[in-house]
Structure 1
Amino acid sequence: MKVGDRVKLTKKTFLFQGIFIFTGATVEIKELNSDKALVIYNDKEGYPHDLEMALSDLAPL
């Protein structure tokens, strides 16, 4: 995985700041750290949200 890649979430559906983040949603990697990634999640209205996810919660498309 590298910055700019589109991946899917494998984490169970959860609530983040009043927005449901669904399992299997496609996100774009914005920034990578050793064990975490900052990803961009677009909600159903198309608004982007930055989420910090563990690399284990991401899988290739």
Structure 2
Amino acid sequence: MKPGDKAKLTKQTFLHQGIFIFTGSTVEIKEIQSDKAIVIYNDKEGYPHDLEMNLTDLAPIS
């Protein structure tokens, strides 16, 4: 995976700053670090949120 790619969240649904982040949601990879990625998650109203995720919590979209 590289910046600009789309990925699917495999992590169980969780709450982040008052926003539910749902398993199976599509995110866009913004930045890759050694074992983490910064991803852009769009909430149900369409507002973008930057999240730091482990690479193991992301799956490529086939």
Q: TM-score, normalised by structure 2?
A: 0.97
SS at match of 1:56: helix
1:12, distance to aligned residue in structure 2 (A):
0.1
1:1-58, CA deviations, whole angstroms, 9 ceiling, x for partnerless residues? Answer: 0000000000000000000000000000000001000000000000000000000000
What is residue 11 of structure 1 aligned with on the other side?
11
SS at match of 2:12: coil
The root-mean-square deviation of aligned C-alpha atoms, in Å, is 0.3
What is residue 30 of structure 2 aligned with on the other side?
30
**Unaligned stretches of 5+ residues in structure 1:** none
Identity of aligned residues (%): 80
Q: TM-score, normalised by structure 1?
A: 0.99
- CA distance in 2 between counterparts of 1:56 and 1:27 reads 14
- CA distance in 1 between counterparts of 2:19 and 2:34 reads 27
- CA distance in 1 between counterparts of 2:8 and 2:59 reads 5
Count residues with an aligned counterpart.
Answer: 61
